[in-house]
Each structure stands twice: as structure tokens, then as C-alpha cells.
Amino acid sequence: SPLDSVKKIGPTNAPKVAKVDEIRNRAQFIARSCKEVREVYGQSENGLYYLTTSTGVVYQTFCDMTTAGGGWTLVASVHEDNIYGKCTVGDRWTSQQGNNANWPQGEGNWANRKTFGTVEAATDDDFKNPGYYDIVAEDMSVWHVPNNTPVNHWKLAAIMRYHTDRRFLHLYGGNLYSLFHRYPVEYNVGAHLSDNGPSIPIVYDLGDKESTKMFYGPYSGAEIEGGFISFRAINYERAATAICSGVKPKGGNAETYCIGGGGFFPEGNPLQCGDFTAFAWNGYGTHVGWSASKQMLESAVLLFYR
Ligand code: 3S6
Ligand code: CA
Ligand code: CA
């Protein structure tokens, strides 16, 4: 129960009070983010903690308490359950109802308050918790973790980890919910490059600019620059993707190195539609042409705030 964790994060020297008051007080000790858990309650171990939203919705998620000072809250994961399913069941970060120009935002989950999944299954399926829209953050951290890895192995198993350190979220409302309201992930919202959202420089915790490029296809590598996280990249056919992890687009084949998106991808209809878009355009995990490596294709993308 939520109250069990309160023991873990609450003060140990609380005065003895009547049972009801004690429970009421404990409820107020639930933190709003992992940063608060670290700073206010002094917890420094990686693992699962209870958090609460501003309205009192309590949920459980993973806190990374060690990277670059710690205090990182896992708010979402983007998982590709079947790259051959083209905007079918499980494509929560694009469309689960087909590739459809009449449904330009698709599921709309980048900019709504829907939640799904569980923290322990964040590498087994998509995950989104209330922190995604509730936490007012400054920076982001991203981990690419092989599918079906248990929580306690995430950090060691990750194939790439990085974070931002420029407090860029201040400029975009403090979280991705706000950022994607300003930059809607929607088909036909603008043109490639000129109407893309921001690209923010990153600091690597595992990997580097060159290893990042190697996770994407060789053709993709020729039109990206490593060392960034980019938002709302648009492709040549005016499809909108959500996040280009580790890279900045220099061309309009964003569907081959950016994940998530709206509900319509015109090129090769419906082949580019899905959470990992066209990562298998030239075969599954081949790392030929526009195809990403197998490691990238089979790793979930974990999104953290601080
Ligand atoms: C480097 C060759 C360009 O290849 C084209 O881009 C090709 O016609 C398409 O298959 C490909 C797609 O647009 C990739 O998304
Ligand atoms: Ca998915
Ligand atoms: Ca293309």
C-alpha cells in the first residue's frame, strides 16, 4: 500500500500522534518527484518509489538516484512490440487504429493525460505515468534498455544513456506534455526541418556521438548529427514524429531515426506507421540502408525528468 512506502520516505522522528492524524500526516509526506525524494527525504538508492501528483493521485515509478547527482523520475517508455504491425495494437505512441490521414494526431498520447502500463513492465510494453504531465522539470534523461530486462538490471543492461544539462524544459512548460502542446505531433502540421521542434545538446552517460549514429542505419547516419535529443521532427511527406533520441535531423527521413508520432505517415502507406516508425525499412535489424541495428529495434526508450 502507499502508506508502506511512506515509512521509507517519511521522517523517522515524527512525534506520536493519534492514529488518524498520523495517517493524514503520512499522506502528505509522499513526494511529487524523485528529485524531491532525494532532496527532501535523503533517499539515494535506485529503485521504485511512490510519488503523488498535485491533485493527490499516487503512483509508483523508478527513480535513478545516481546519474549526475540523481533525482531522475521515470515518466514513460516507448516500446516496439512488433515492428511488422503498422499502427496496430501496442502502438500507443503513434496509432493503434491504422495509418489514417483523417486522424492526424493518432492516439494523441504525447499531449494528453492518459496513462498506461506499469513500471516493472516498462521494458516489456509502453509505460506512461502521471508524472509525465504533473512534474515540472528542467532536464531529461534517456535510457535505451533491451526489452524484457528486469528493473534492477536496467542501468547495467542499457545500450545507451544520456541526459540534458541546460534546463531546457523551462522554455517549454516544464515537461513533455507542455512541449508537445506547443509542438503538436500531428500529420501535416508543417514542413521538414523548418517546422521541427527543438534539438537539445546532450551529455552521454553511456555511449558517444559516434556510437549513437551506429545504432541507426547507414543512410540515416548520413543525415543526422549525434549528441542531441530532438522533438517533433517532421519528414519529407509531412508526417510528424515525436522524439529523435541521441540525434538531430539534417534531412527529412525522420521516420528512420525518430520514434513515436501522429496517426499518418504517407510514404509506403502503411509501412512507416508505428512506435518505431520505419526502423526496419530495409529489413529487421539489418543495419543496412535505412534499417536500425537489432539492439536499437529491440530496446525500449525510457524517458526521465529532473
Ligand atoms: C539514399 C537513397 C534514398 O532512398 C529513398 O529513401 C528510397 O527511395 C526510399 O526507399 C527511402 C525512404 O524515403 C526512406 O524512408
Ligand atoms: Ca508500443
Ligand atoms: Ca523517407
Concatenated DSSP letters of 131-178: HHHH---S-EEEEEEETT--GGGHHHH-SEEEE--S-GGGGGTTSHHH
Q: Is the bond leading into 201 cis (omega within 30 degrees of zero)?
A: no
254 with 94: CB under 8 angstroms? no
Beta-carbon neighbours within 5 Å of ion ligand 2: 79, 90, 126, 275
Q: What's the mean pLDDT in 85-113?
A: 98
In this structure, the dihedral spanned by the alpha carbons of residues 237, 246, 153 and 217, taken in order and rounded to 10 degrees, is: 60
How many angstroms is it from 271 CA to the middle of ligand 3?
Answer: 11
Q: Give every CB contact of residue 92 below 8 A, 6+ residues apart in sequence.
A: 107, 109, 116, 126, 128, 275
Ligand nearest to the CA of 235: 3
Average pLDDT, the chain: 94
* CA angle, residues 142, 148, 151, in degrees to nearest 5: 60
pLDDT digits (tens, 9 = 90+) for 214-243: 999 999 999 999 999 999 999 999 999 999
Nearest C-alpha neighbor of 273 from the set 242, 239, 300: 239
Q: How far apart are CA 269 and CA 256, in angstroms?
A: 15
> What count of residues does the chain have?
306
Which pLDDT score, from 0 to 100, does residue 31 have?
97
Distance (Å, rounded) from C-alpha 149 to C-alpha 299? 9
Provide the pLDDT for residue 146: 99
Ligand 1 touching residue 278 (CB < 6 A): yes
Which residues are within 8 A (CB) of 294 and not within 5 positions of it... i.e. 6 or more apart?
A: 284, 285, 287
Share of the chain above pLDDT 90, in %: 91
Q: Which ligand is nearest to the CA of 128?
A: 2
Residue with the nearest Cα to atom 10 of ligand 1? 281
pLDDT of 113 > 60? The answer is: yes
Beta bridge partners of 141: 163, 304
Nearest-angstrom CA–CA distance, 50 and 34 = 9
Give the Cα separation of 244 and 261 in Å (integer).
Answer: 11
Q: Are strands 259-261 and 58-64 parallel, antiparallel or unpaired?
A: unpaired
> pLDDT tens-digit profile of 145-194?
999 999 999 999 999 999 999 999 999 999 999 999 999 999 999 999 99
pLDDT per residue over 252-303, tens digit each? 999 999 999 999 999 999 999 999 999 999 999 999 999 999 999 999 999 9
Span from the CA of 215 to the centroid of ligand 1 (angstroms): 18
State ipTM: 0.92
251 lines ligand 1 (CB under 6 A): no
For residue range 115-153, what is the model confidence (pLDDT) as tens digits? 999 999 999 999 999 999 999 999 999 999 999 999 999
Is the predicted pLDDT of residue 11 greater than 50, yes or no? no
pLDDT at 20: 73
Q: What's the sign of the alpha-carbon dihedral 260, 142, 201, 139?
A: positive
Distance CA 35, CA 175 (A): 14
Element (H, E) at 63: strand 58-64
Q: Give the amino acid at 6.
A: V
What single letter denotes the amino acid at residue 124? D
Enter the DSSP assignment of 283: S
pLDDT of 30 over the 60 cut: yes
Is residue 69 over pLDDT 70? yes
Rounded to whole angstroms, how far apart are CA atoms 84 and 104? 21
Q: Which residues 6+ apart lie within 8 Å of 264 measured at CB?
A: 95, 99, 100, 101, 103, 104, 106, 187, 188, 239, 273
Residue 244 scores a pLDDT above 60: yes
pLDDT at residue 26, rounded to an integer: 56
Question: Which of 253, 257, 265, 269 gets mutated to test ligand 1 (max ligand atoms within 8 A of its CB)?
Answer: 253
Q: How confident is the model at residue 10 (pLDDT cuts 50, 70, 90)?
A: very low
Q: pLDDT value at position 2?
A: 45
Per-residue pLDDT band at 99 (split at 50, 70, 90):
very high
According to DSSP, the residues that pair with 204 across neighbouring strands are 162
Q: What angle do CA 9, 178, 300 make, to 5 degrees?
A: 65
Overall average pLDDT of the 74-96 stretch: 98
> By percentage, how much of the chain surpasses pLDDT 70?
92
Angle at 198 between CA 180 and CA 118, to 5 degrees: 45
pLDDT at 23 over 90: no
* Position 14 pLDDT exceeds 70: no
pLDDT the model gives residue 5: 47
For residue 191, is it left (φ>0), alpha (ψ between -120 and 50) or beta?
beta
